Structure 1
Amino acid sequence: MGKIRVNNIRVHSNHGCLKEEMLIGSDYRVDLEVHANLSRPSQSDKLSETVDYVHLNNIVKEEMAIRSNLLEHVAKRIINRIFLEIESVLAAEIQVSKINPPIGGDVESVTVVLEAKRPT
């Protein structure tokens, strides 16, 4: 078993329930960790036998571009796509953070964390 992490994926998107969030948007940070058996690619040195982190990054960027009211919803969509498109991924954890959220205080970010195992 092994882990692949893609950290600090930065995107601008229009998630949120407030009208100004839908219009202006906000900055987001996404951190992703996937679990897979990495013993074979660690020996073969073949990209085709591992989890391609370029693919992971593209999934995150594409799903973050689709507006959702809740960070929980976009995070779950990202995990669902990872399991759908990358069958070697056995488990995933995603953190989606809204930077400088409009919540009436001096808050650096709010973060939603979801974990899931591949459905059997």
Structure 2
Amino acid sequence: MGMIRINNLRFHTFNGVLPEERRNGQQLGLDIAIKYPIETKVLHDDVHETINYAEVRHVTEQFITTHSYKLIESLANHLLETLLASFPSVDLVNIKIRKYSVPMPGIFDNVEIEVEGAPDAQ
């Protein structure tokens, strides 16, 4: 089964629990993996036979820049629903969201959450 991956999309968002996170915003990084039967669906070198990555990015950007959540888990769940509804021919969507500016003590690069779903599961 084929996979289409869009790695490390970056968006400035206004998500977070704390008021300063929601006021100042922060950068989130996203990886989107789409399970799609490339081997049997893409036979004629035609973009209409595959999932258009630019459209996936556009749907993602539109959603992320017009919605704000306290939890990136909620953002991920709702984005997953949106992508599955927008691209019903996919077999599975996996989303990883990284938050780089997490207001907690310690030394770390980021916090990452991951969600996954299929069209029938929605």
Q: Percent identity?
A: 24
Alpha-carbon offset, residue 106 of structure 1: 2.6
Q: Residues 1-120 of structure 1 correspond to what in structure 2 (within 5 A)?
A: 1-65=1-65, 66-119=67-120
RMSD of Structure 2 on Structure 1 (CA): 1.4
**Structure 2 Cα separation of the partners of residues 79 and 59 of structure 1:** 11
Amino acid at match of 1:38: I
Amino acid at match of 2:33: E
Gaps of 5+ in 1: none
- Asked if 1 retains the 8 angstrom alpha-carbon contact of 2:42 and 2:49, the reply is no
Flag the structure with higher strand content: 1
- Asked if 2 retains the 8 angstrom alpha-carbon contact of 1:40 and 1:49, the reply is no
Secondary structure, aligned partner of 2:43: helix
Alpha-carbon offset, residue 39 of structure 1: 2.6
**Structure 2 Cα separation of the partners of residues 25 and 90 of structure 1:** 33
Amino acid at match of 1:42: V
**Structure 2 Cα separation of the partners of residues 42 and 86 of structure 1:** 16
- Asked if 2 retains the 8 angstrom alpha-carbon contact of 1:37 and 1:88, the reply is no
Question: In the TM superposition, what whole-angstrom CA distance separates every residue of 1:79-120 from its partner, at most 9, and x where no partner exists?
Answer: 111111112111011001111312123321101100112216
Question: In the TM superposition, what whole-angstrom CA distance separates every residue of 1:34-85 from its partner, at most 9, and x where no partner exists?
Answer: 1111134532111111101111111221222111111111111111111111
**Structure 1 Cα separation of the partners of residues 85 and 10 of structure 2:** 23
- Aligned pairs, how many? 120
Q: Please give the TM-score of this superposition, normalised by the length of structure 2.
A: 0.91
Secondary structure, aligned partner of 1:48: helix
Secondary structure, aligned partner of 2:120: coil
- Asked if 2 retains the 8 angstrom alpha-carbon contact of 1:100 and 1:107, the reply is no
- Asked if 2 retains the 8 angstrom alpha-carbon contact of 1:33 and 1:94, the reply is yes
